[in-house]
């Protein structure tokens, strides 16, 4: 599993794990240069002109319009839950005001295998350009629920303030009893200067959340989806759409962890060596701080684990397939 981190406020239950899972596209997370569709847990447009991985900069990128990508990490919920999908990205080249143009589409789908075409069940949010006019001097990046309808609250950022900056779009699915009582929210962030839009929502008088998507979210799970839109539009000077990080949060399906095994930490609190028993060699061990940062990752060889370089404090030990353990470093 390619986790940058799992915030380890993990709640074990009979069916799900409450988690926030993030991925960067680096060799350390077992990505390789080349088409995204060759990577484990990822699906993308199965064509020569597709999403590609560049591990040296930790990004996936495409210079082409209408290229789909999906993260095969199912998330599930019940009425009242929120599932969030966040994508961090930037544009190489210039984003220009002009005609209203869709640049990027992000949201949720019910089936991650999108190699063959457009997802049949989806709800997404678009990042659109606006024209340079009295209401949008210099043009804006604005959030839409479809090509013609903006999100409520008119969420937008000035294009001039976003040129070359790192941005993020977070899309939230709030589950109701059905599609009409569910909500989709979107918020655009400028990570470089710290600005953000208001949170915008689907205007339900024109577009509802799909009943089929809500049904999938409560049974088999939903998946994060992204698609380059008309970035090659003649009004634009975009060279590449680059994505550096994706994050899903909510309840992840426990079938990714079919059996939760137990192991033991000997002598907890820990001084310089972490002593564990009850696991086999060759398991990957990861240690996280309270903030969710991964501070150590190595293959277990049966020996004690050197933690002498860790600061004093509380840490979490994760081994795939086993329950998460916490330990105190003296």
Q: What is the torsion angle, in degrees rounded to the nearest 10, for the CA atoms of residue 33, residue 37, residue 38 and residue 41?
A: 110
Q: Domain range holding 123?
A: 16-256
pLDDT at 219: 86
Angstrom CA distances, 44 to 51, 76, 97, 112, stand at 7, 22, 29, 9
pLDDT at 2: 39
Tell how many helices (H) and how many strands (E) occur in the chain. Answer: 2, 23
Task: State the total domains in the chain.
Answer: 2
Give the integer Cα–Cα distance in Å for 117 and 189.
29
Instruction: Using DSSP, state whether 216 is helix, strand or coil.
Output: helix
User: Sign of dihedral through CA atoms 53, 62, 83, 117?
Assistant: negative
pLDDT at 31: 93
* C-beta atoms surrounding 263 within 10 Å: 16
Residue 10 domain-assigned (yes or no): no
Residue 7 domain-assigned (yes or no): no
Residue 237 domain-assigned (yes or no): yes
pLDDT at 253: 62
pLDDT at 67: 94
Give the integer Cα–Cα distance in Å for 36 and 48.
11
Given 256, 286, 319, the domain boundary residue is 256
Given 228, 256, 284, the domain boundary residue is 256
pLDDT at 210: 94
pLDDT at 153: 92
CATH of the domain at 307: 2.60.40
Do 268 and 251 have their domain in common?
no
Statement: the pTM of the whole predicted model exceeds 0.85: no
Do 252 and 269 have their domain in common?
no
pLDDT at 261: 64
pLDDT at 237: 93
Q: Which residues of the chain carry a pLDDT beneath 50?
A: 1-15, 254-259
Residue 8 domain-assigned (yes or no): no
pLDDT at 143: 97
pLDDT at 206: 73
CATH of the domain at 78: 2.60.120.200
Give the integer Cα–Cα distance in Å for 215 and 230.
31
Residue 308 domain-assigned (yes or no): yes
**pLDDT tens, residue by residue, 208-258:** 899 999 999 988 899 999 999 999 998 899 999 999 999 998 877 644 434
* C-beta atoms surrounding 225 within 10 Å: 26
Do 237 and 299 have their domain in common?
no
Please tell me whether the peptide bond between 269 and the residue prior to it is cis, using omega within 30 degrees of 0.
yes
pLDDT at 230: 92
Q: Are 13 and 19 in contact (CB under 8 A)?
A: no
Reading the block at residue 257, the tokens are 């962890």
Do 26 and 150 have their domain in common?
yes
Reading the block at residue 36, the tokens are 């995204």
pLDDT at 321: 67
- What is the overall mean pLDDT for the chain? 86
- What are the φ/ψ torsions at residue 305 (nearest 5 degrees)? -100, 125
Give the integer Cα–Cα distance in Å for 78 and 55.
37
Do 289 and 232 have their domain in common?
no
pLDDT at 319: 82
């Amino acid at each position: 599993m390619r986790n940058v981190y799992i915030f380890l406020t993990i709640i074990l239950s009979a069916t799900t794990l409450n988690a926030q899972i993030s991925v960067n596209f680096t060799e350390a997370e077992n990505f390789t240069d080349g088409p995204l569709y060759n990577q484990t847990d990822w699906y993308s447009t199965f064509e020569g002109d597709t999403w590609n991985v560049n591990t040296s900069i930790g990004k996936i990128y495409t210079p082409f319009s209408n290229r789909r990508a999906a993260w095969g990490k199912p998330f599930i919920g019940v009425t009242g839950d929120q599932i969030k999908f966040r994508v961090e990205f930037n544009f190489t080249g210039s984003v220009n005001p002009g005609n209203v143009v869709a640049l990027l589409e992000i949201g949720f789908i019910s089936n991650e295998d999108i190699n063959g075409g457009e997802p049949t069940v989806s709800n997404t949010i678009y990042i659109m350009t606006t024209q340079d006019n009295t209401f949008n001097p210099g043009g804006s990046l604005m959030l839409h629920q479809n090509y013609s309808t903006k999100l409520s609250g008119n969420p937008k950022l000035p294009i001039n303030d976003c040129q070359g900056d790192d941005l993020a779009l977070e899309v939230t699915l709030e589950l109701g009893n059905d599609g009409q009582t569910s909500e989709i929210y979107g918020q655009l962030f400028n990570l470089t200067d710290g600005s953000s839009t208001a949170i915008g929502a689907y205007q339900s008088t024109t577009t509802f959340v799909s009943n089929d998507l809500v049904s999938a979210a409560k049974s088999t799970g939903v998946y994060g989806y992204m698609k380059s839109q008309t970035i090659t539009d003649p009004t634009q000077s975009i060279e590449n759409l680059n994505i550096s990080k994706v994050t899903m949060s909510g309840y992840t399906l426990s079938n990714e962890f079919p059996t939760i095994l137990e192991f033991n930490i000997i002598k907890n609190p820990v001084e310089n060596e972490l002593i564990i028993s009850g696991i086999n060699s060759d398991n990957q061990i990861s240690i996280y701080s309270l903030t969710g940062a991964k501070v150590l990752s190595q293959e277990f060889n049966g020996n004690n684990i050197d933690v002498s370089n860790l600061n004093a404090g509380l840490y979490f030990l994760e081994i795939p397939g086993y329950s998460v353990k916490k330990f105190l470093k003296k």
